[in-house]
Amino acid sequence: MDYPAIDPIALQIGPLAIHWYGLMYLFGFAGAWALARLRARRPDWPINAVQVDDLLFYSALGVILGGRVGYMLFYQPGMLIDSPLSLFAIWDGGMSFHGGLLGVLVAMALYARRQGLAFFTVTDFIAPLVPIGLFFGRIGNFINAELWGSPTTLPWGMVFPGGGPEPRHPSMLYEAALEGLVLFILLWVFSMKPRPRMAVSGLFLAGYGTFRFAVEFVREPDAHIGYLAGGWVTMGHVLSAPMILAGIALLIWAYRRAIMDRPANLQAGSTSE
């Protein structure tokens, strides 16, 4: 299959260029905001609709700052040293999910402290919303023709510009489906009922880490980094494996606490530690 070349600039008004990649972030935040307002209607959450606006503002800062800084530190440390201003060129792509996750965790810690809420109460609330942004972010990667996969003979392999003549896995679409749609459904359905605190956050970490780890086997590593070990271990593997372990640990811890402290710990919106 030929890659359906899409102009990365969605709209040009004089010198002002609006890129699809930036619009994907806007769509992701808008979708997360709408679902957060819906989620805030549940009586078992101490986060109301008014607080959602501040929550999404903190989240947006964490995603953008953490994602860009993480990408430069994890994947382009040389460029950051040679051209520090490249840190701000987010319209060219180059956002790290793992960096964005760290940025959001810091932002959620600040938000939780300001609102007098437990940290995991906030992360449990926001975890099912994150896959919406991941979905649109991966579509942005596809439009930019970046992060394509390794060569394949499968009928849906695509010839990407800059990727050579051989068809490649459209790995960004795999990630949009798994990290975006599938993970969203999994988390949304799981969190429809009150769960022990930390359980939703744990499922998110384990689910994302597993999906990302799997896709890394067919995703071409960054050319300047390559495989880190064994001809198959990528930076994505290294960054995702701890997420899987942390997610499983949180799930076990959450349900062990629930067993030892019933029924108080089964209140999804409880702010007690």
195 in a known ligand binding site:
no
Listed residue (21, 175, 3) closest to 94, CA to CA? 21
Binding-site positions read 138
